[in-house]
Amino acid sequence: MSGLTLTVDAAAWRDHLHAVADATPGLVPVAKGNGYGFGLARLAEEAELLGADTIAVGVPSEVDAVRERFSGDIVVLNPWRSGDPGAAEAAADPRVITTVSRADDVAALAAERTGTAPTRILLEVRTSMRRHGIPADQLRVAADLPDGLEFCGWVIHLPHAEDGRAREAETLATACHAARPGPIWFSHLDPDDARRITDHLDVPVRMRVGTQLWLGSPRTRRATATVLDVHEVARGDRIGYWQRRVPSAGWVVIVAGGTANGIAMEAPTSARSARSRMISVVTGSLEAVGRALSPYTIDGRKRWFAEPPHMQSSMVLLPAGSTPPAIGDAVEVELRLTTALVDRVDLT
């Protein structure tokens, strides 16, 4: 089968997953979006193997992708908003924990909820992220929750920037605790800081981790693309949608993977200005910027795109003097796994 393949050394990857779990108190693996390149189903199975008691998804519509493959609780990270796809079903599901990020949504969720089991909720406090969260002066909403809502703790979602982060976490955790003691669910905090803060307050700690868990061991995986076609070209030959002239003799290599797989022109070279780079991104043309380096390694080095990637394949130039690959060969491709969609994940 041709396409983009992510090949994972399963034993080495799982060693890494266990090492992160051992170093992270109350680990909650995060499985959302494109599943960090592995897919949500695979991550749910790995979280189960890892022995996690709780997994996190991004949005309510992702609950179904993990529900049958993971036996524990499922936290929805994005805050509850009335009418979101799957939000009502998730709030009625005794295995799901819903995040509430606005004081008014406490009453709204209580009024809209259905089902016999209470809706389990986390209350998110606003941090310096200024993304979501209840402002610190409204935390008293936690003290007296309406019937039908079960308090499962506080959410503190911090920025990646470390400057002042531990102190902010401590200040907010203390304020939350004063409003209502309960477990504290952190995102993006050093495990030692998290442990110190929650030990001091004598409450359970939970840490939601995605990237560092699933993608923190790059040497345990490799991504490859199938060579679909190879054509010899002379200097000046016109090729591709844009009928650009080939700058030197060699080959044009057609490889699997295109915009639908998250293959992008990430490294335009001779862009003269931010404006010309912007034009090239918007129009998809290379004319404004010259050539762009592709993520494909062929015959030992990254090669230039002949033109912007197509939907499911890309045209790459290989200069004379190189050794062209054969049709059906697999060539190395560098993927950003938070945006990639591969055709196959092979655990070996």
Ligand X SMILES: *Cc1c(COP(=O)(O)O)cnc(C)c1O
Q: Is 210 in the site for ligand X (CB under 6 A)?
A: yes
Q: Look at residues 175, 161, 208, 157 and name the one whose alpha carbon lies nearest to residue 25.
A: 208
**Residue 11 corresponds to which tokens in the numbers above?**
């034993």
**Residue 58 corresponds to which tokens in the numbers above?**
């991004």
Contact 246, 233 (CB under 8 A): yes
Q: 174-203: which residues touch ligand X (CB under 6 A)? A: 187
Report how far apart, in Å, the C-alpha atoms of 20 and of each of 45, 149, 204, 212 are: 17, 33, 18, 8
Query: With respect to ligand X, which residue has the nearer C-beta, 172 or 233?
Result: 172
Q: Is 30 in the site for ligand X (CB under 6 A)?
A: yes
What pairs with residue 332 in β-bridges? 224, 297
**Pairing assessment for the beta strands 27-29 and 54-57 based on DSSP bridges:** unpaired
Part of the chain binding ligand X (CB under 6 A), chosen from 3-11, 39-47, 165-173, 205-213: 205-213
Q: Is 157 in the site for ligand X (CB under 6 A)?
A: yes
Q: Is 339 in the site for ligand X (CB under 6 A)?
A: no
Query: With respect to ligand X, which residue has the nearer C-beta, 212 or 259?
Result: 212
Contact 44, 71 (CB under 8 A): no
User: From the CB of 287, what's the least distance to ligand X, in Å?
Assistant: 36
Task: Give the x/- contact pattern for ligand X in 49-88, rule: CB under 6 A.
Answer: ----------------------------x-----------
**Pairing assessment for the beta strands 4-8 and 344-347 based on DSSP bridges:** parallel
Query: With respect to ligand X, which residue has the nearer C-beta, 57 or 330?
Result: 57
User: From the CB of 225, what's the least distance to ligand X, in Å?
Assistant: 25
User: From the CB of 212, what's the least distance to ligand X, in Å?
Assistant: 6
Exactly one of 174, 211, 270, 283 binds ligand X (CB under 6 A); that residue is 211
Residue 64 makes CB contacts below 8 A (sequence gap 6+) with 86
Query: What is the binding site for ligand X (CB under 6 A)?
Result: 30, 32, 77, 157, 187, 208-212
